[in-house]
Amino acid sequence: MPKLTLYHIAPSRSSIVHWMLEEVGQPYDIHLLSMNRGENRAPEYLAVNPMGKVPALKHGGVVITEAAAICAYLADEFPQAGLNVPIGDPRRGVYLKWLFFGPSCVEPAMTDRAFPRKEEARRAMLGYGDFDTVMDVVAKAVAPGPYLIGERFTAADVIVGATLRWGMMFKLIPERPEFTAYTARLAARPALQRSEAKDKELAAA
Q: From 72, 50, 48, 68, select the one nearest 58 (Cα to Cα).
A: 48
> Which one, 57 or 178, has the nearer CB to ligand GSH?
57
> Which one, 18 or 53, has the nearer CB to ligand GSH?
53
Residue nearest to ligand GSH (CB): 53
- Min dist CB 159 to ligand GSH, Å, is 9
The Cα 107–Cα 187 span in angstroms is 20
Instruction: Please provide the DSSP assignment of 60-121 as one string.
Output: TTEEEESHHHHHHHHHHH-GGG--S--TT-TTHHHHHHHHHHIIIIIHHHHHHHHS--SSPP
> Which one, 54 or 105, has the nearer CB to ligand GSH?
54
- Min dist CB 40 to ligand GSH, Å, is 5
The Cα 12–Cα 195 span in angstroms is 12
- Min dist CB 157 to ligand GSH, Å, is 16
> Which one, 53 or 59, has the nearer CB to ligand GSH?
53
> Which one, 38 or 82, has the nearer CB to ligand GSH?
38
The Cα 12–Cα 151 span in angstroms is 28
- Min dist CB 132 to ligand GSH, Å, is 23
- Min dist CB 89 to ligand GSH, Å, is 25
- Min dist CB 13 to ligand GSH, Å, is 4
Q: Which residues are near ligand GSH by CB under 6 A?
A: 12-13, 35, 40, 52-55, 66-67, 103
- CA max distance for the chain: 51
> Which one, 6 or 191, has the nearer CB to ligand GSH?
6
55 contacts 8 by C-beta, under 8 angstroms:
yes
H helix or E strand, kind and range, residue 4: strand 4-8
The Cα 53–Cα 32 span in angstroms is 12
